[in-house]
Structure 1
Amino acid sequence: ALACCHQHKSARFVAIDLSPEALAVADANAKALGLSDRVEFRQGNRLEPVASEGRFDVILSNPPYIPTAIIPTLEPGVRLYEPHQALDGGEDGLRVVAPLIEESVPLLKPGGHLILEIGSDQEVPVRSLIAAQPQLKLVPTVRDHANHPRVVRATRI
Structure 2
Amino acid sequence: MSTTDAPSPRPAADDLLVARLRAAGCVFAEEEAALLTEAAASDAVRLEELVARRVAGEPLEHLLGWVEFAGRRWSVGPGVFVPRRRTELMVAAALALPAPSTVLDLCCGCGAVGGAVLLGLRAAGAAPVLHASDVEPAAVRHARRNLEPLGAAVHEGDLLAVVPAVLRGRVDLLLCNAPYVPTDAIATMPPEARDHEPAVALDGGADGLGVLRRVVEAAPGWLAPGGSLLFEVGTDQVPGATALVEAHGLRPTVVTDDDPDADDATGGTVVVATLKVL
- Give the alignment's TM-score, normalised by structure 2: 0.51
Q: Quick one: distance in 2 between partners of 1:11 and 1:124? A: 32
Q: Do residues 118 (structure 1) and 233 (structure 2) align?
A: yes
Q: Quick one: distance in 2 between partners of 1:128 and 1:85? A: 24
Of 196, 199, 207, 1:81 maps to 196
Deviation, 1:72, is 0.9
Aligned equivalent of 1:137: 251
Residues 228 and 275, structure 2, Cα contact 8 Å, conserved in 1: yes
Moved more, 145-154 or 65-74: 145-154
Aligned equivalent of 1:50: 163
Q: Quick one: distance in 1 between partners of 2:208 and 2:219? A: 18
Residues 15 and 42, structure 1, Cα contact 8 Å, conserved in 2: yes
Residues 119 and 150, structure 1, Cα contact 8 Å, conserved in 2: yes
Q: Do residues 28 (structure 1) and 162 (structure 2) align?
A: no
Percent of pairs with identical residues: 35
Give the alignment of 1:3-22 within 5 angstroms: 3-9=116-122, 10-22=127-139
Residues 118 and 130, structure 2, Cα contact 8 Å, conserved in 1: yes
Counterpart residue identity of residue 138, structure 1: P
Aligned equivalent of 2:269: 150
Aligned equivalent of 2:223: 108
Residues 147 and 154, structure 2, Cα contact 8 Å, conserved in 1: no
Residues 132 and 155, structure 2, Cα contact 8 Å, conserved in 1: yes
Which digits, 9 at most, give the CA deviation of each residue in 1:88-139, with x for residues without a partner?
A: 01111111011110100110000101111112321010000011123x1222
Deviation, 1:7, is 1.3
Counterpart residue identity of residue 22, structure 1: A
Aligned equivalent of 2:7: none
Give 5+ residue unaligned stretches, structure 2: 1-113
The count of aligned residue pairs is 151
- Give the alignment's TM-score, normalised by structure 1: 0.88
RMSD of Structure 2 on Structure 1 (CA)? 1.7
Deviation, 1:60, is 0.7
Q: Which has the larger radius of gyration?
A: 2
* Highest RCO, 1 vs 2 (Cα 8 Å, sep ≥ 6): 1
Give 5+ residue unaligned stretches, structure 1: none
Task: Give every structure 1 segment of 4 or more consecutive aligned residues whose post-TM-superposition deviation is greater than 4 Å.
Answer: none
Moved more, 22-31 or 64-73: 22-31
Q: 1:92 to 1:156 in 2, by over 3 A?
A: same
